[in-house]
Structure 1
Amino acid sequence: MEDLPDALIGEIVKRVSSTSDLSSLSLVSKRLYKIEAESRHTIHISCSLGPATDAIVSLCSRFHNLLKVDINYSGWTQDHGNQLDNHGLRILSSYCLSLSDITLSFCSYIDDTGLGYLAFCKKLITLRLNSATKITSSGLLAVAVGCKNLSALHLIDCNKISGAFEWLKYLGSDGSLEELKVKNCVGINQYSLLMFGPGWMKLQRFVFEFRNIYSIFESKDPSYVANCQYRYDFSCENLKQLSLRRIVTMEEIGLRSLLGKCKSLEKLCLHFVLGLTDSDMITLAQNCSNLRSISLQLEPVFCEGPEGRVCRTPLTDESLKALAGCRMLQVVELTMFGCDYAYPEIGFTQEGLMMFFQSCPIRDLVLCGANIFDDEGMKALSSAQFLQTL
């Protein structure tokens, strides 16, 4: 071991993934202690680490080459002592100038002032905020302006983010964001996200989800004009992954308009999107020739049919016929909730499903709640020559 150069030992140390093993290794000798410290690029901070401020000073002094920091106070109580606060983030951003990936989860002591210190992390690429209850739009604007290399932003259960959304406008016009995930943030609606403007052109992965049922008080689209055909004036031709869940898109098209603009789309998840129609699927199939994966979770709504108003899942065989033309489609999930044999109905027929499964090179198939699918349908699946997982 003594004959090996430090650089080679450092490469060996980087391949040790267990934190306990790395800690044990650092106790073997002063040389290994130093090499391990210089090679450590990731640390995780949780409730068990305290006192928080003293601990962050010690960690940053030792591991000055940190690239990724995950701070997670899930399950924290007063008995654990104080959490890392704004001062702690200031120390982190001052010591670790190479930080590129930061996650803050359930950090109730950190507000906009603390988040603003991350603007000094000029190499920051990824920022994840999970249940950051004191963060507002002001803190996000400071990060957007200061971190020019930010390419991934995740916002989960951050309910104080609302207002003018200057941070979103700034990221759209001057930022380099390629991935945006917004989940369960009550102050951010789909029409706010349309303010991203030219940023949609750079975006490659987009997720917008709510966990709750549809709200009858869904915000309205300020650009909507009744009885006029209109479209949103932006392009998202580089978008490869799109996931929408529990959003309402009826007269005001909103984020549903993305389905006709994503020419590079490869993976699509549409879960309980109210207002989804066959026309959307036809437009999608016509424009997204690279589609490889689709997940549709549907539940009954009132629709107009040939025999009047019926309660069924919103998509019909017309959607399946359109999707059958997606010759690269390999992963499919079709889930129908709350349907019965008689009422409410499934919009698809078994014949439509059989045609779809036989037309596409499907390798992985999930079919849930399809009470119309019987043994005859299973026999048809046997002719799906690419199917590997059912």
Structure 2
Amino acid sequence: MRGHNNNNDRINSMLPDELLMEIFRHVESKSSRDACALVCRRWRTLERLSRDTIRIGGSGSPDSLVNLIATRFLNVTNLFIDERVSGAHPFDQGRRGSVRHQPTWLRLHLMADRYEPYCLLDAGLAAVADGFTKLQKLTLIWCSNATNAGLTFVAQKCTSLKCLDLQGCYVGDQGLRAIGKYCKQLEVLNLRFCEGLTDIGLVDLAIGCEKSLKSLGVAACAKITDVSLEAVGSHCRVLETLSLDSEYVNNKRVIIAVANGCPLLKNLNLQCIMVTDEALTAVGRLCVLLESLALLSFQRFSDKSLCAIGKGCKKLKSLMLSDCYFLSDKGLEAVAAGCPELSLLEINGCHNISTYGLETIGRFCMRLRELALLYCQKVGNEALYEVGKGCKYLQALHLVDCSVVGDDAICSIAIGCKNLKKLHIRRCYVVESKGAIGDNGKYLTDLSIRFCDRVGDEALVAIGNGCPLLCHLNVSGCYQIGDTGITAIARGCPQLTYLDVSVLQNLGDMALAEVGEGCPLLKDIILSHCREITDFGLAHLVKRCKWLESCYMVYCPGVTAAGVATVISTCVNIKKVLIEKSKVSARTRRRAGSVISYLCVDL
């Protein structure tokens, strides 16, 4: 490159290594960093030294891959290994690249991936321990063949570890005991689906990391009981976050122990059907710093708990209530009146909460920024009137199966909440939204109106005229929408990157051509079950949408193998095409088999 890149020589002669490494750290795009590494040997060496995060797959010779990476990237502090992802994935040079054009080491790795598929073993964790001694964050997702021995290697060598995620790993008590013994700086621990653990390991870790542990997540660990979780509450005085999913937790021995022993608790996520009012009353009384509370699938507590939360947790900002059958408007009113800083509220399937409860939220929670109402059959328009009047900072609203909510409510939100950026509505059958959203949604970027029977072209024309910043649009199942509405979107929303028009029976090629002409930034499009779309419309779409990455077009009878080939050959950035197997020619399959997914297969 020296013959035509004198600028590179000038940079190398003037900038020290430290400054170049700092520049590389500020390059966010992986492709750009890879390009920097190809400039010259010095840049390649420095770019490798500047990388602090590596993500690799955990299947297909991962042990040898970890060994290889450890010799090249010496300053890694964050390592992610996910067994759901192929080990060859991070170094894939492109779907059209031939194996013989890959570097020698990668060709060998890909060959091993084909003929010797296996999972991450203790040898791979030993390589992690030896090669990444500066490691601070280690994530092992579903690496079920790693054992206590491998985790012990990591604990002994990576003593600076601060965050450990063992989701789905079948490690046992000895490995967790080693973490508690050697990793005295551990702050975050995730033990979701760790079936091999018992109380012994977690108690030892709680004692070993009692001065550092700030966040603990436990879910689906049948052998972890009240004993170890009570020990966490007793020893881990700096604990700030607890996420607990268990059917066997006793409220007196766990939640009360945590409330008594962890005065710094800020985030509490509970999915424990056995927890009662006594435990949550203790949380309200003792956890005065609580900011986030999620209560999921609770069947034994009542408004008494929320009254205690509203009285004691004045800093509460986020509240999620899901399938809490015994809660009513009284409890929600207590939270609204007592927690003025509330900014996020989600109510899912709490059938006794009605319009009045949400009205109190609108009156008292003026800082509310996100509201989600899912399966709230008793919440009517009046509730959203109050939200529209009082919650001027609302930025996101989610409505799912709220059968009583209609156009008047949506109009109140649109007029009152001028900063609204995200609006998601699904199966609200009386919503028409003819003009309210478009007339008042100049900051709207994400709009999803799914399976709302009365929404038609008139609503989309208004949105196209009034929402120039729209990037994400989903109108699947709104069968009254046709070419006129989508054409208005194409002409008025040039920033659009995501479009879902599936199950629109009246949508044809003309609208698709308009999208291609007016939305050049489009990356994802879903056309499934659009009976009027043909190869002609697809050709016009992909001609201008050069950034298209995914295209779903199953059950489109007008799309043939020629249309699929057009999408594949024209869109150089395409990563996923979902189509019936019968519509993919042998040539297309050879050319781009890695990006094609089939919904229907031959029987």
Calculate the TM-score normalised by the size of structure 1.
0.72
Equivalents in 2 of 1:271, 1:354: separation in Å? 23
* Percentage of identical aligned residues: 21
State the distance in 1 between where 2:378 and 2:288 align: 28
In the superposition, relative to structure 1, how do residues 99 and 257 fare at CA in structure 2: closer, same or farther (>3 Å)? Answer: farther
Partner of 1:153: 319
Q: Deviations over 1:286-325 (max 9, x none)?
A: 33332211122215xxxxxxxxxxxxx1212222122111
Could you tell me which runs of 5 or more consecutive residues in structure 1 were left unpaired when the two chains were aligned: 1-6, 77-81, 225-229, 300-312, 338-345
* 1:196 correspondence with 2:387: yes
Q: CA deviation at 1:35?
A: 6.7
CA distance in 1 between counterparts of 2:209 and 2:317 reads 29
User: Which structure dedicates a bigger proportion of its chain to helix?
Assistant: 2
SS in 1 for 2:487: helix
**1:66 positional shift:** 1.9
Match of 2:451 in 1: 272
Q: Which of 97, 101, 126 lines up with 2:267 in the alignment?
A: 101
In 2, Cα distance between equivalents of 1:193 and 1:132 = 26
Instruction: Please report how far the alpha carbon of residue 162 of structure 1 lies from its aligned counterpart in structure 2 after TM superposition.
Output: 4.1
Checking the alignment, whether the CA contact within 8 Å between 2:437 and 2:462 is kept in structure 1 is no
Change (3 A) 1:379 1:351: same
Q: What is the deviation of 1:336?
A: 0.7
Tell me the CA shift for residue 371 of structure 1.
Answer: 1.7
Residues of 2 paired with 1:31 and 1:219: CA distance?
Answer: 52
- Structure-1 residue corresponding to 2:424: 243
256-265 or 27-36: bigger deviation: 27-36
1:334 is matched with 501
Amino acid at match of 2:502: T
CA distance in 2, matches of 1:333, 1:53: 47
Amino acid at match of 2:540: A
CA shift, 1:198, in A, is: 4.6
Q: In structure 2, which of residues 134, 157, 165 is the aligned counterpart of residue 17 of structure 1?
A: 165
Gaps of 5+ in 2: 1-135, 137-156, 187-204, 337-357, 552-603
Aligned-partner SS, 1:64: coil
Partner Cα distance (2:486, 2:183) in 1: 65
Is 1:90 the counterpart of 2:256 in the alignment? yes
Pick closer, same or farther for the CA change 1:356–1:47 going to 2, 3 Å: closer
Q: How does 1:1-390 map to 2 (within 5 A)?
A: 12-18=160-166, 23-28=177-182, 36-46=209-219, 48=221, 52-73=225-246, 76=247, 82-85=248-251, 88-105=254-271, 107-119=272-284, 120-134=286-300, 139-140=305-306, 142-144=308-310, 146-163=312-329, 166=333, 167=336, 168-175=358-365, 176-188=367-379, 191-210=382-401, 218-219=403-404, 231=412, 235-250=416-431, 260-298=439-477, 313-324=479-490, 325-336=492-503, 346-360=505-519, 361-383=521-543, 384-390=545-551
| Greater Cα shift, 267-276 or 230-239 | 230-239
SS at match of 1:153: strand
Classify the secondary structure of the residue corresponding to 2:506: coil
Could you tell me which residue of structure 2 aligns to residue 302 of structure 1? none
Whole-Å Cα distance in 1 between the matches of residues 388 and 321 of structure 2? 19
Distance of aligned partners of 1:365 and 1:131 in 2 relative to their CA distance in 1, 3 Å threshold:
same
SS in 1 for 2:249: coil
1:274 alignment partner AA: D
8 Å Cα contact 1:179/1:206 also seen in 2: yes
* Equivalent position amino acid for 1:152 in 2: S
Structure 1 CA distance, aligned partners of 2:399 and 2:511? Answer: 30
For 2:326 and 2:223, how far apart are their aligned partners in 1?
Answer: 28
Q: CA deviation at 1:188?
A: 4.4
Q: CA deviation at 1:369?
A: 0.9
Question: For the residues of structure 2 that align with 1:180 and 1:162, how far apart are their CA atoms?
Answer: 18
User: RMSD of the alignment, in Å?
Assistant: 3.9
Q: How many residues align?
A: 342
| Secondary structure at 2:502 match in 1 | strand
| Aligned 8 A contact 2:159 2:183 in 1 | no
SS of match in other structure, 1:243: strand
Shift of 1:351: 0.7
Report deviation, 1:359.
0.8
- Alignment-derived partner of residue 79 in structure 1: none
User: Do the aligned partners of residues 333 and 294 (structure 1) sit closer, same or farther apart at CA in structure 2, a change above 3 Å counting?
Assistant: same
Change over 3 Å in CA distance of 1:139–1:223 after alignment to 2: farther
The answer on whether the counterparts of 2:512 and 2:541 sit within 8 Å (CA) in structure 1 is no
**Matches of 1:240 and 1:62, distance apart in 2:** 43
**d(CA) in 1 for partners of 2:305 and 2:476?**
35
Contact 2:509/2:538 (CA < 8 Å) preserved in 1? no
2:368 partner letter: L
- The answer (yes or no) to whether the contact 2:501–2:527 under 8 Å persists in 1 is yes
**Alignment check: 8 A CA contact 1:46 1:71 kept:** yes
Report if aligned partners of 1:246, 1:271 keep a CA contact under 8 Å in 2: yes
Distance 2:275 2:472 in 1: 38
After superposition, the Cα gap between the structure-2 partners of 1:199 and 1:90, relative to the gap in structure 1 and judged at 3 Å, is farther
Contact 2:362/2:388 (8 A) holds in 1: yes
Aligned to 1:303: none
User: Could you list the per-position Cα deviations for residues 343-382 of structure 1 after superposition, in whole angstroms to 9, with x for gaps in the alignment?
Assistant: xxx2322212221232112122222111211111121123
